[in-house]
Amino acid sequence: MSSLLKVEGLVTRLRNGAAIVDGISFEIAAGETFALLGESGCGKSMTALSLMRLLPDGVQNAGGTVQMEQASLFELPEREMRNVRGGKMAMIFQEPGLSLNPVMTVGQQIAEVLELHQDLNADAVLQRSVELLDQVGIPDAARRIDEYPFQLSGGMKQRVMIAMALAGSPRLLIADEPTTALDVTIQAQVLQLLRDTQVKSGMAMLLITHDLGVVAETAHRVGVMYAGQVVEQASRDELFTQPLHPYTQKLFAALPSAGRAGQSLSAIPGSVPPLGSITNGCRFAPRCDKAWALCHEQTPAWTVVGEGQGVRCHLYSCAVSTVLSTESASQLSVPSIQNSALSTQRSVLLQVSDLRVHFPIRKGLLQRVVGSVKAVDGVSLSIPKGRTLALVGESGCGKTTLGKSLLRLVPATSGSVQFDGKELIGTGASRATMQMVFQDPYASLNPKMRVAEILEEGMSALNIGSNSTERQKYIDGLLDKVGLARDSKWRYPHEFSGGQRQRIAIARALAVSPQLLICDEPTSALDVSVQAQILNLLKSLQDELGLSYLFITHNLGVVEYLAHEVCVMYLGRIVERGTTQEVMHSPKHPYTQALLSAVPRIDGEGRTFIKLEGDMPSPSNPPSGCHFAPRCAHVMPTCSSYPETVELSATHRVSCHLFN
């Protein structure tokens, strides 16, 4: 198969000489998906920007060639390169909210691409814009075309970005983390849309991601990138059956799953080395448990192992008598623990009964209340001591609002929240026994305060410790617990990596000795290796301190690994609850089944994808009867009334007329 894109020896450097992308080579054929896989900071996005010639100030192409359909992209004048961008090669950027123009309507931004790359008149441009929005699954496209980006959800913004990228009918689409932070249902729709487009048009795709499940479902060939170099390249089947490089093996071993719930994940120690810090030797050697003296002294050469398969590692480039095991981490057999313990076997720490959080909608000059947003609408749940309850559901279902209402960061409209037998709603009870770990640690940490000040702030407010010296001694112990050096407490948040900042956020929560942590998507934006470190930390803290967790997430792999019980939330209500085994392996509610069917799996044994029609209704105007009925394939006349909760077992409950 002839190559559509051929990259040879690509080098991208900072002006000071440090290489960000250091001599990478790969090819992509028409209709093929090539995935670049690796941790943040390894150079994946900079590779894409190099191909598009969109490098930021201070960064320059310093070597190599990029051929696309016989044209050398680095030799084209800028005028011709503008025709390539959007016309022959298009890019979906990682953050659609920052990539879309906030002062232009969706239609205007798509029309801009069509006018540049397609010979269409005004009426044809409008018609084609509507067709593209409809193609990417935007409901009521003719109306949405006149809306601005701020009026769209995150998933819709991403779909608009895809529509813009496809408007020029590109031969190659570069998708930079196209599904990061999206719900699994939206992620599945976006990936299916890209696959369908490939089948229809023969478009090639360069997929940049750190999600192994997405790679397993979408890619034909994979390049694993580390510290600016491609360290392994193989077909998807070869990579997932027998990963060769120790870095690739560790990425697989870091994946959370039900089978590894009984023991710690194999987290990769340390982090990606700074640019230019390793000039001799293997760049992965400082983090590799298979490294020997040669790995620190000599840079490994690229070794061809088979047709289309190669690796950059001394294990294969040297005459080694016995190559260390390359057994896929996904095939490792580890004992699992039983998640089926009943809540009644342990004393209940948190008991929530019929909790409601409604926000008034005000309009007019006098700001009269004309309705309400029912963010949380009659939720009941319980969390035993030392256990983890996972709360899952699509964005906008009320998960975060529920977590904040338990801490009284948002006021509850009605209901009861009892913590260790004491009522919290309407009382002045202390909130120190419950703490929250937020999704974005950088946004939740004061950038003007050192770590020591951040950790001491809550302790001072609650009079923990007799003086600052005593509190600082306690803080040193906290840093030990979360795996940070004691002298790091005199640094500012911006001096830490994402995973380290999340550790600081956890230490801050632990500083006041809570019994319950509410973790709101604490690993959603982290690499799989850093995610493994945080999950190991949470697991060890639970074992050591007897903590309970309310774990809010849309990562169902994390749920299987960490949680004992699961609540599935839809439009402010719990629609299914049970042990992790019951909900994840025997889901009953049609919504739960759709969520699980959308999860990409590396073993290739995923369920048939159940596409949910439309978007989640607005909580300000929920459907009458069963809230899920407008999107349900099993809807029937009785769904006009909201179903009662049915007990399927002592621990498994579902709210669905199919079981009444």
Mean pLDDT by 10 residues, the chain (660 residues): 88 88 94 92 91 92 91 92 90 83 94 88 92 84 90 81 90 88 78 87 92 90 95 95 94 83 80 81 92 92 90 78 40 36 66 95 87 93 96 90 93 94 83 86 89 92 86 91 89 85 91 93 81 89 93 88 95 96 95 91 70 80 92 94 95 94
* Residues 500 and 451 sit within 8 Å (Cβ to Cβ): no
Q: What is the pTM (predicted TM-score) of this model?
A: 0.84
Fold category of 1-88+178-219 in CATH: Rossmann fold (3.40.50)
- Cβ-count burial 115-130 (b if 16+ within 10 Å, e if not): eebeeeeeeebbebbb
Alpha helices in 412-518 (DSSP H): 441-444, 451-461, 468-481, 498-510
Axis-axis angle for helices 154-167, 122-135 (nearest 10): 130
Tell me, yes or no, if the two domains 1-88+178-219 and 343-433+514-659 fold the same way.
yes
Q: What is the pLDDT of residue 345?
A: 58
C-alpha Rg value of the chain to the nearest Å: 26
First to last CA, the chain: 56
Q: What is the pLDDT of residue 607?
A: 59
Q: What is the pLDDT of residue 427?
A: 81
Query: Residue 381 pairs with which residues in a beta bridge?
Result: 352
Domain regions of the chain by residue span? 1-88+178-219, 246-331, 343-433+514-659
Q: What is the pLDDT of residue 604?
A: 59
* Residues 51 and 63 sit within 8 Å (Cβ to Cβ): no
* Residues 595 and 185 sit within 8 Å (Cβ to Cβ): yes
Q: What is the pLDDT of residue 617?
A: 84
Q: What is the pLDDT of residue 228?
A: 92
* Residues 323 and 314 sit within 8 Å (Cβ to Cβ): no
Residue with tokens 């590894």, as numbered in its chain = 260
In 3D space, the residue among 618, 616, 658, 621 whose CA is nearest the CA of residue 639 turns out to be 658
- Cβ-count burial 583-618 (b if 16+ within 10 Å, e if not): bbeebbbbbbbbbbbbbbebeeebeebbebeebbbe
In 3D space, the residue among 42, 12, 20, 33 whose CA is nearest the CA of residue 527 turns out to be 42
Fold category of 343-433+514-659 in CATH: Rossmann fold (3.40.50)
